[in-house]
Structure 1
Amino acid sequence: MKRKSILMAGAMIAALPMTFGGDIAMACSLIFWNDNGQAVVAARTMDLYVDDQPRLVYLPRGIERRGVAEGDAATWTSKYASTVLTAFDAGTSDGMNETGLSAHLLYLHGAEHEPTDQRPALSNLLWPQYVLDNYATVAEALEGLKTVRIVSAKAHGREWPLHLAIEDASGDSAVIEFVDGREVIHHGKDVTVMTNEPPLAEQLVNLKRYRLFGGTLPLPGDIDPKSRFVRASTFLKTLPKPADTREAVGHIAGVARTVAVPFGAVDTSGGESADTWPTRWASVADHTDKVYYVMPVNSPNVFWVDFAKLDPNGKEILAVDARDTTLSGEVSGRLAGFAPIGEAYPPAP
C-alpha cells in the first residue's frame, strides 16, 4: 500500500450526537509511576458517554501531516513510529512512540487557548500525535511545542477543551493546560496524576486536604474528577516496590482500576462536574520495554503491542478494531493494513 496521510484529524469525539447538551466530556484519569526501580509505566482510563469505536493503530515513520485544515497550518513528517488508540477514526486519544514517549489527551472544562500570533496552527485534537511523531523526550517536546500555536478545533458543532500529559522513558513528565488564555506547564518527575476539571494547580491544592498529603479528610469514593485525582494519588503513593517489569505493569493497572467508572455509576459528590461518564477502556504504556497495553471493558482480556515486533520503516499503516473480543496477549500479528480514509489532513469540520 502506498503510504498516505491517515485521517486522524477532526475531533477525537467527532460525529457524536449532541443529545446531552454543552458539557459532554471525556472524563479520564492518568497515573504515572516513575520511581519504582523496575520500569517507568503510565496508565490512563478513557471515560465517555458513548462508544468511541477505538482502533489500535501502528503508524510507521514518514507520514506527512497538517495541523489544521485551512490557514497557516503546522506541517510535518513523522520522525518516530507510534502505537496509538484512535476514536471514531478521527483522532489520537492516547499512545506511545518507539522511543518510549507517551501522550494522553484528557478533557479540561473551560480550557481557553492563547490569542492568535505568528506561529503556525496545530489543532488541539492533533496535539498528542504531533508530540509522538516528532519527539523522544518530554524536554524536547516542550521546546518543540513552542514553535506551534495550539488552537481549539470545532467538531460536530462544538469545541472540545482539552489538556495534555506527556511522559518519557527517563521518568520525566509534563502536563500542559490552557487556563484563562495562557499556557500553563507543570513539568518534572513529580507530575504523576491528572484527571479533568479543575486545572492541575487547583487539584494539587485540594489534595492537601486529604490524609497522606497533610490533611485530615479520608479517601473519597466518588467518581468526580477531584475524587479520582485524590484516589489515584493516594494509591500511587502507597504502591509497594515491584519485583520486575511485569509486576510494575500489573500494579499500575490496579491503580487505574480504582479510578475507573463502572457503567451505571452515579456521582454522589454533589459537585457540578459533568466528567463522570463510564470507562470504555484503559491503557498502560511501558516506557522502559516499549510495550503498549490495552484493557477494554467489553472483555476480560488484555492485549498489547511490542514495538520490537514491528518495523518502524514499514510501508503500511496497520490497525485492528480494539473492541474485538478475540484480542488477547501480544497482537502485533493481528494488525492489518489500514487504508487511509483520505488525503486531506485534516478535513474541514
Structure 2
Amino acid sequence: MTSRIKSVSAWIAAMALSLSPSTGIPCSAFYGESGSQSVMGKSYDWHMSHGYLIANKRNVEKSSLLVFPTDNRISWTSEYGSVTFNQYGHEFPLGGINEAGMAIEVLWLNSSEYPDDSHLQSLNELQWIQYHLDTSANVPEMIERARQVRISPVVAEVHYLACDANSDCAVFEYLNGELVIHSTTSLTPAMEAPSITNNTYARSMEYARNFVSFGGSRPIPTGSGSLDRFVRASYVAKSFANQKSIDSYFFDILDSVATGSFSKWNIVYELDEKVVHFVPRYTADRARVTIRLDDMNFDCSSSVQARRLASHDGWTAENQFSNMSTSKNRTMVNRALEGDIPGYLVNQVINYPNTTRCRN
C-alpha cells in the first residue's frame, strides 16, 4: 500500500509539471475520503481572479433577485452561516462551505439547457448556490430543495458539485430543460465518481470507463481537456490515503489538473472539520489561507465580514477580514460585470445585499 501511495504522489507531481495551458473554459472539482475524513477540492480556472472571501450570516431574510418577467420570487431565511468565494457580487458566490459542513462549487457546462417552467420559484445561477448553503445541512436536503426551484440564468451555462460532512455528494445539471441529479444517496441515479469538469456527468463517466480503475484497460490520461481531467482527478481522489496532510494531498491533485494561466484559485474544503484552504496560483509566494468556520461569527446582528483576494492584475490581498460594504461590492461587481449585462441589472446586483434583513 505504501509503495502504491508513493507512486500515485509521484505521478501527480509529474503531471503538474507536464500540463500545458488549455483552450476553452477549464475547471475541475472532486471529492475524496479516508475513514471519517471528507474532502472536496476545486480548481477555479477563468480569465478573472479578483474577488472577496465573504462570511455570510445566519438568520437573514432574503428573496431571489428577479431579472426576467417570467421569474417567480422565492423568499427564505438563512439557517446556516457560510464562507463563500465571490467575484460577481456579495450573495452571488462561485462556491463555498456552510457551518453544517456542506460545500458547493459551480463549473461551466456548455450543454446546459434550463427549464422555462414559470410556475416554479426561480434563482439565478449563482444565487442558487447561496440559497442552498443558507438552507441545506446536507446533500439529501439540497436534492429535495433543488427539485422545488428552477434556475433563471443571467450569464452562464453551468453545473454544480455538492458534498457534505456525511460523505454524500451530488452533481446537479440542467439538460434538455430538465434537472438531472446524480448522487451517492438513494434519492437519485448512482454516482460512481464524485467529480465534475466541463462535460456532463454521464458523458464523463462514459469516457472514464475506458481507463484502469474504472473498468477499462487504458492508462490514466495526461491531457488537459475536460474528459481527461475528470478521469485523472477522479482516479487520484480515489487513491486518497492518510500518508500526508489532507490538504496537501488535494492541492497536489489540483496542481495535476491545472491549466496554465487559466488556473486562478485552488480551494480545498475539509468538510468534517468545517475548514477551507485557499491558494492563489498567480502570486509569487502562493501563500495559503486557512479559514476555520468554527472561528467565524455568523450572528447577523454583527457586520458582514469579507477578505479581499489578490488578483493577477492589480488587486492586493487583505490579511484579515474587515466589514463588507456597498462600495467594496460595487468595485467587485463592476470589475466582473460592467459591459456584460445592462447597467440597471449591475446596480441591482450591487445593491442586493441592502434588501436583506437580519431577524435578530
Task: State TM-score, norm by structure 2.
Answer: 0.76
**Residues 50 and 87 in structure 2, CA contact (< 8 A), matched pair in contact too:** yes
Q: 1:74 aligns to what?
A: 74
129-138 or 116-125: which moved more? Answer: 116-125
Q: Distance in 1 between matches of 2:73 and 2:144?
A: 18
- In structure 1, what is the equivalent of residue 236 of structure 2? 235
- Displacement after TM superposition at 1:232 (Å): 0.7
- The 5 A counterparts of 1:22-101 are 26-34=25-33, 36-48=34-46, 50-70=47-67, 71-89=71-89, 91-101=92-102
What is the CA deviation profile of residues 70-106 of structure 1, one whole-angstrom value per residue up to 9, with x for unaligned ones? Answer: 4421122211110010114363111000110101011
- 1:186 aligns with 182
Q: For residues 123 and 345 of structure 1, what CA distance do their matches in structure 2 show? A: 15
Contact 1:26–1:46 (Cα < 8 Å) also in 2: no
Give the structure 2 partner of residue 284 of structure 1: 268
> Could you list the runs of 5+ residues in structure 1 that have no partner in the other structure?
1-23, 154-158, 264-277
Aligned with 1:247 (options 220, 238, 245): 245
- Quick one: which of 295, 300, 306 aligns to 1:309? 295
Q: Which residue of 2 aligns with 1:337?
A: 323
Residues 28 and 229 in structure 2, CA contact (< 8 A), matched pair in contact too: yes
Instruction: Report Cα offsets for 1:128-180 as digits up to 9, x if no partner.
Output: 11110111010011112222122222xxxxx3111011111000000010111
Please tell me whether residue 211 in structure 1 is matched to residue 174 in structure 2: no
Over 3 Å counting, the alpha-carbon distance change for 1:191 and 1:78 in structure 2 is farther
1:202 equivalent in structure 2: 203
Measure how far apart 1:65 and its partner are.
2.6
CA distance in 1, matches of 2:352, 2:273: 34
Question: Residue 325 of structure 2 aligns to a residue in which SS?
Answer: coil
Equivalent position SS for 1:92: coil
Structure-2 residue corresponding to 1:169: 165
Q: Is the 8 A contact 2:53 2:307 kept in 1?
A: yes
What SS does structure 2 have at the residue aligned with 1:344? helix
- Structure 2: distance between partners of 1:237 and 1:307: 26
1:65 and 1:52 map into 2 onto residues whose CA distance is 27
Partner of 2:310: 323
Q: Name the SS of the counterpart of 1:308 in structure 2.
A: helix
Cα deviation, residue 322, structure 1: 1.4
Give structure 2 stretches of 5+ with no counterpart. 1-22, 186-191, 330-349, 356-360
